[in-house]
Amino acid sequence: MTAKLLIFRGDEIDRVDLTNRDLRIGRAPENDIVLQDQDKTVSRYHAELRHEQGNYVLIDVNSQNGIWVDGQRVQRTKLEPGRPVVLGKVRIELEEAGADQTVVAAPAPPRPSPSTQPASAGVEERTASTRSDATVTTAGFVSKMAKPKIIALLLGVLVLAVMLRFLLTPRDPSSQAGSGSSSGPEKASAQVIAAKRMPGAELVAAALSAGQIGRSNRTDVAATLHATVTPDKGRAAARAARQQEITRAKLAAARGDYNEAIDVLEQLPSAPDVQLLLEQTRTERRQRAEGLMRVGSQLEQSGSLDTAHQRYVEARALDVSTPDVDEAIARVEGKMQTEGANAFKRAQVYYALGKNAEAIALYEKAVQLLPPSDPNRSAAQARLAELKSKVP
């Protein structure tokens, strides 16, 4: 039987069968494993799950809230049964092959306070090329109407209610005659003039001019008022919600969250201004990813393999269609594995000769370059702890 990844969502548990294939995890539907998160604490492209030397290793791909294990934020971690890993508000855990299929969802470990989770300065998201069958649906967004629009609409409705009550209230014909009041069309015209001096006059005028106002046509007046107010109210709310989403997309692009901006714009109805902003954002994203690739190449040539690897991963998280990004990541990881293994061997020689200072420097290099699943990395960490404890 294959190992499974347990995904805890409240009282529900999802199981995903794991193979030797690398899997991408995040909130976007393009991921192999999609994590549903309405609060968006999970990034669109959050982490990558790799199978290395018989172990499953989870790697953060510059997400905003990172990967947390035992209350500590980590860049890479090996999944172990019974050891939960937290991504945003979602908890995952490895289930060994052949384990009991009855699992009780334990309460998620407390998340660190916001002050201990600094937002990453890099790009938090990445796209993916394949999709797993175990895909969880994503949540959409809810638009909000601006408060000034609500207040203006409420005032308009209040004015209409007062006018309607005044117009439909029965009057004593004798008292109207004694006071010399006008009637018929002249009265309706006077009411139109009075209405134009009040807020919302343009909504009332249509009702007043619909015919002769009186008890006999109160139904026509109410229908006219409703037909006039309701469409305008709906259109105003839609315009306010649309503008709010466009502003949100512009702010996301300004801080470098291009994938978030594109996600917002793609959900808006198609319009010339939306399409123009969408194309501009995609162009900026592509240029940013290409710039990260150039920086990564320079770092790789200078020998800074670990930092070069980070730039390549950021470029792929930003735009998965970036040319040669997968090849660059694979190439630099191979170099890191080779140099890390050589550093560990040389450190062992210096350790045997009693040259602790030289051994410490090489052990640290091995820890930096070797992946967490490599046994030499664990051995190097143990030796470092031993040697540093002897330093006065």
Q: Please provide residue 296's backbone torsions phi and psi, each rounded to the nearest 5 degrees.
A: -60, -40
pLDDT tens figures, 110-158: 554 444 444 333 334 433 333 333 333 333 333 334 455 667 677 777 7
Q: What is the pLDDT of residue 376?
A: 92
Rounded to the nearest 5 degrees, what angle is found at the Cα of 58, between the Cα atoms of 55 and 63? 175
Q: Which of 30, 19, 25 is nearest to 85 (CA)?
A: 25
Single pTM value for the model: 0.42
Fold of the domain built from segment(s) 4-95: Tumour Suppressor Smad4 (2.60.200)
**CATH, domain range 324-389:** 1.20.58
Q: Are 50 and 63 in contact (CB under 8 A)?
A: no
Q: What is the pLDDT of residue 98?
A: 59
Give the H/E segment covering residue 74. Answer: strand 72-74
Could you identify the residue written with the tokens 């502003």?
247
Q: What is the pLDDT of residue 372?
A: 86
pLDDT tens figures, 343-391: 999 999 999 999 999 999 999 999 999 998 899 999 999 999 999 888 7
104 vs 246, higher pLDDT: 246
Please determine, for residue 279, whether its predicted confidence score (pLDDT) is greater than 60: yes
pLDDT tens figures, 285-302: 999 999 999 999 999 999
Spatial separation of the C-alpha atoms in residues 238 and 144, rounded to whole Å: 10
**What tokens does 220 get?**
């026509």
In percent, the amount of the chain with pLDDT more than 90 equals: 39
Please determine, for residue 222, whether its predicted confidence score (pLDDT) is greater than 50: yes
Mean pLDDT of 92-116: 55
Compute the CA torsion angle 146, 147, 153, 157 (nearest 10 deg): 150
Please determine, for residue 238, whether its predicted confidence score (pLDDT) is greater than 70: yes
Torsion 84-88-89-95 (CA) sign: negative
Helices (H), the chain: 147-168, 173-178, 185-195, 201-208, 218-254, 258-266, 272-302, 305-318, 325-352, 356-369, 375-390
Spatial separation of the C-alpha atoms in residues 315 and 290, rounded to whole Å: 7
**Strand stretches in 88-152, DSSP E:** 90-95
**What tokens does 44 get?**
């669109």
Spatial separation of the C-alpha atoms in residues 112 and 204, rounded to whole Å: 56
Burial class (CB in 10 A: 0-12, 13-18, 19+), 359: buried
Spatial separation of the C-alpha atoms in residues 189 and 195, rounded to whole Å: 10
**Domain boundaries of the chain, sorted by first residue:** 4-95, 236-302, 324-389
Q: What is the pLDDT of residue 305?
A: 92
Please determine, for residue 283, whether its predicted confidence score (pLDDT) is greater than 90: yes
- Report the mean per-residue pLDDT for the chain: 76
209 vs 140, higher pLDDT: 209
| CB proximity list for 86: less than 8 A, separation 6 or greater | 67, 68, 69, 92, 108, 109, 111
Please determine, for residue 4, whether its predicted confidence score (pLDDT) is greater than 70: yes
Query: What residue type is 257 in one-letter code?
Result: D
161 vs 66, higher pLDDT: 66
pLDDT tens figures, 300-311: 999 899 899 999
Q: What is the pLDDT of residue 82?
A: 86
pLDDT tens figures, 14-33: 889 898 888 999 999 999 99
Q: What is the pLDDT of residue 389?
A: 87
Q: What is the pLDDT of residue 269?
A: 87
Q: What is the pLDDT of residue 85?
A: 94
**What tokens does 125 get?**
């998201």
